[in-house]
Amino acid sequence: MKNIREPAVAGMFYPSSPRELKEQINLLLESTHSDEIFENPFGIISPHAGYVYSGKTAAHAYNTICGKNFSTVVIISPSHREYFPGVSIYNGDAYRTPLGDVYLNKEMISQLSENSKLIFEGMNGHRAEHAVEVQIPFLQMVLNEFQIVPIVVGDQRKLFVNDLAEKLAAVVDANTLVVASSDLSHFHTKQEADILDSIVEERIEKFEYEKLLYDLETEKCEACGGGPIVAMMKTADLKNKKKSKILSRSDSGDITGDNSEVVGYLSAVIYS
């Protein structure tokens, strides 16, 4: 019997109806289509709020990989609902969305977790976490057959982020895409959020992931998935993929019209 991780936020963060979900994602992709081509994308940064809020920003990133051939997608997310020391990779067989089941690359997962004191297989961070889940329907719409490695970072300190990057660099190849799932600042005024989020944007654009991690640790800026972003960028650096481009930045106030307490969103692509 297969161990399937059922959707936790279908009907809340995105439609639970397959038809409505496909229609929404297609509309988001069409409205953000660009003629700019990234020949060798290594990774993307994508927000993880409800699609009505951050879906358009996310779609900019997913358009860069549309139709590409990736056999494995590593999705790195923060843990919003539980703290645990270390990095947790789901220990089941598949993640389910309204668009179907996506199976795990068990071989890559075992390579990442074996002989590691910091990376382990388990349910920690996967029970009700949305940040991995909301990326998968987009992936199902833009890619053909692929497997996933769903990773939730329970502790985003430098020790854990660096270890994950080094382990990933040893196992990913040209057929692997890495997705860093992150929103930016939370619940500041639009003006305050713009100041904080522009720091994250600049660090990513200049490929300064070490400085980004320092800025996050010293609270000069905010990103709930800052650790996943840094882990993805460091992995890219170790694989000699050192070009980055910001694709879109927005905040919840752009949708709601309420600029008193906004959440920031950003999408980017890392390539060679």
At 210, which CATH number?
Answer: 3.40.830.10
pLDDT at 1: 75
Q: Assign 157 to helix, strand or coil.
A: coil
* 205: in domain: yes
* 127: in domain: yes
Look-up of token digits 């668009």: 99
* 12: in domain: no
* 50: in domain: yes
* 9: in domain: no
Residues in the chain: 272
- As a whole number of angstroms, the longest Cα–Cα distance in the chain is 52
* 7: in domain: no
Give the model confidence (pLDDT) of 42-78 as tens digits.
Answer: 999 999 999 999 999 999 999 999 999 999 999 999 9
* 16: in domain: no
Q: Give yes or no for a contact between 130 and 8, defined as CB atoms under 8 angstroms apart.
A: yes
Q: Give yes or no for a contact between 24 and 14, defined as CB atoms under 8 angstroms apart.
A: yes
**Structure tokens that stand for 165 in this block:** 């990057």
Give the model confidence (pLDDT) of 204-250 as tens digits.
Answer: 999 999 999 999 999 999 999 999 999 999 999 999 999 999 999 99
**Structure tokens that stand for 106 in this block:** 């068990």
**Residue 155, domain extent:** 38-271
> pLDDT band for position 2 (50/70/90)?
confident
d(CA 118, CA 43): 23
Is pTM beyond 0.85? Reply is yes
Q: Is the pLDDT of residue 253 over 90?
A: yes
What is the number of structural domains in the chain?
1
* 42: in domain: yes
Residue among 79, 77, 231 nearest 150 (CA)? 77
Q: Give yes or no for a contact between 160 and 76, defined as CB atoms under 8 angstroms apart.
A: no
